[in-house]
Amino acid sequence: MKYFDPQIETASRETLCGIQSERLASIVKRCYDHVPFYRRKFDEAGLLPGDVKSIDDITKLPFTVKQDLRDNYPFGLFAVPREDIVRIHASSGTTGKQTVVGYTENDVEIWSRSAARAIVAAGGTKADRIHIAYGYGLFTGGLGLHYGAEKLGAAAIPVSSGNTMRQIQLLEDFEPDILCCTPSYALTIGEAMRGAGVDAKKLRLRAGIFGAEPWTEAMRAEIESVLDIKAYDIYGLSEIAGPGVSFDCCMQNGMHVCEDYFYPEIVDPDTLEPVPDGTFGELVFTCIGKEALPLIRYRTRDISCLTHETCECGRTLVKMMKPKGRSDDMLIIRGVNVFPSQVEHVILTLGLEPNYQIVVDRAKNLDVMTVCVEMSDAVFSDAVREVERREKEIASAMQSVLGVSAKVRLVEPRSLPRSEGKAVRVVDNRKI
């Protein structure tokens, strides 16, 4: 099986635009009729639902931001009556109230199909067993991949995250074909396997579907080598559905967006004007296929770019590049923009361990960034002078890539906290 939904995944641009135009007009009307928040925004903009006829009219519509969900907490933006909701999820975020999302039966169907498309694009089939080590619960990771696996007809193994030694035992005993978890947890599992003397080559596992946090190409290479699998990226966010909004294909060079359900745009985060293909900016989604929470032009804060170039896998769905990070994760160090993914890139290209943490302090009104990187056992046994030499070498590579200096501290093997879900890469102690 090459595609889960071949007629959509390989549709012509004309067909896709037709579907998108029809669905956009319908959700705009639904929002205007059923969500007081949207009716007010449309009235303020002097817009009537009839003004939106084609997908090109999308730029006439106002944006939605996370704060709008918080202001209408918990269910104020739902566009269907209470009895039509069959599922509720929420995303914790780091500050403020939870972001609450709801689904009708049809919304769960859309989401499951998106996740099933992702699994098939990663080479998954009906005959596979899929080990799901994303957290189950209000977080969308576990249940999203679970419903995707079942929609495909594969066997979902709902392990959830945590208890790493048990994960390893199940990888050995249940012989799953595909592992789903965050990329940082994949590395934690790989490292624990190595520690326990389990040979990854002996496992049946052949692929992994990893997402929910930014990760670099270097980290992909590391995971592929430690677990002896192919590692595929999957992107999504609760506000739009959950995992499966976009996914890697066999080319592993950008994620196809399920644009028949989730229409993507990239805008300049300052001017909010759309930018051309290939230009990085803020990713914006409109949920054109959804009923319960059809968000319009939702600003994700994720920094990415789109490409409509043909893909050798045969899918015509637009591709988005791996998000570089979030505009709100971006650190500003002495005026220079730094993404944790750039730091990760430097660390891994120098052949260091993929376990690191960035600590930012402010000393005498000056930002000080310290990158703590774990040493391998081999480096740890080196003389102090050698360790200092390596720290200098890394600091100089950081300076040339980031354009700002960073202190580098090589720390003891296994001394930094390990992740079971989304990794905490940055500790910002500045009181700003």
Interface residues toward ligand DLL, by CB under 6 A: 91, 134, 139-141, 144, 211-214, 233-238, 242-243, 300, 302, 322-323, 326
Query: In the complex, what is the shortest distance from the CB of residue 328 to ligand DLL, in angstroms, rounded to a whole number?
Result: 9
Q: Which is nearer to ligand DLL, 333 or 423 (CB)?
A: 423
Q: Give CA–CA dist 407/373, Å, rounded.
A: 11
| 95: its two tokens | 């500050």
* Bridge partners, residue 25, by sequence: none
Q: Which is nearer to ligand DLL, 227 or 234 (CB)?
A: 234
Q: Which is nearer to ligand DLL, 248 or 367 (CB)?
A: 248
Query: In the complex, what is the shortest distance from the CB of residue 381 to ligand DLL, in angstroms, rounded to a whole number?
Result: 35
Residue nearest to ligand DLL (CB): 211
Q: Which is nearer to ligand DLL, 107 or 367 (CB)?
A: 107
Q: Give CA–CA dist 146/166, Å, rounded.
A: 19
58 backbone dihedrals φ, ψ, rounded to 5°:
-60, -30
Identify how many contiguous H helices and E strands the chain contains and give both numbers. Answer: 12, 21
Rg of the chain's alpha carbons, rounded to an integer? 22
Query: In the complex, what is the shortest distance from the CB of residue 118 to ligand DLL, in angstroms, rounded to a whole number?
Result: 9
The H or E element that residue 284 is part of is strand 281-287
Query: In the complex, what is the shortest distance from the CB of residue 281 to ligand DLL, in angstroms, rounded to a whole number?
Result: 15
DSSP, residue by residue, 142-203:
HHHHHHHHHHHT-EEEE--S--HHHHHHHHHHS--SEEEE-HHHHHHHHHHHHHTT--GGGS
Q: Evaluate whether 75 touches 101 at the Cβ level (below 8 Å).
A: no
Instruction: Tokens 């160090």: give the residue.
Output: 333
Query: In the complex, what is the shortest distance from the CB of residue 378 to ligand DLL, in angstroms, rounded to a whole number?
Result: 31
The H or E element that residue 349 is part of is helix 340-349
Q: Which is nearer to ligand DLL, 198 or 318 (CB)?
A: 318
Q: Evaluate whether 60 touches 48 at the Cβ level (below 8 Å).
A: no
Query: In the complex, what is the shortest distance from the CB of residue 325 to ligand DLL, in angstroms, rounded to a whole number?
Result: 8
Among 344, 349, 401, 400, residue whose Cα is nearest residue 373: 344
Query: In the complex, what is the shortest distance from the CB of residue 155 to ligand DLL, in angstroms, rounded to a whole number?
Result: 19
What 3-state DSSP class applies to 325? strand
- Residue 190 makes CB contacts below 8 A (sequence gap 6+) with 200, 223, 226, 227
Q: Which is nearer to ligand DLL, 52 or 231 (CB)?
A: 231
Query: In the complex, what is the shortest distance from the CB of residue 13 to ligand DLL, in angstroms, rounded to a whole number?
Result: 25
Q: Which is nearer to ligand DLL, 256 or 322 (CB)?
A: 322
Q: Which is nearer to ligand DLL, 161 or 316 (CB)?
A: 161
Q: Give CA–CA dist 145/53, Å, rounded.
A: 34
Q: Which is nearer to ligand DLL, 78 or 139 (CB)?
A: 139
Query: In the complex, what is the shortest distance from the CB of residue 134 to ligand DLL, in angstroms, rounded to a whole number?
Result: 5
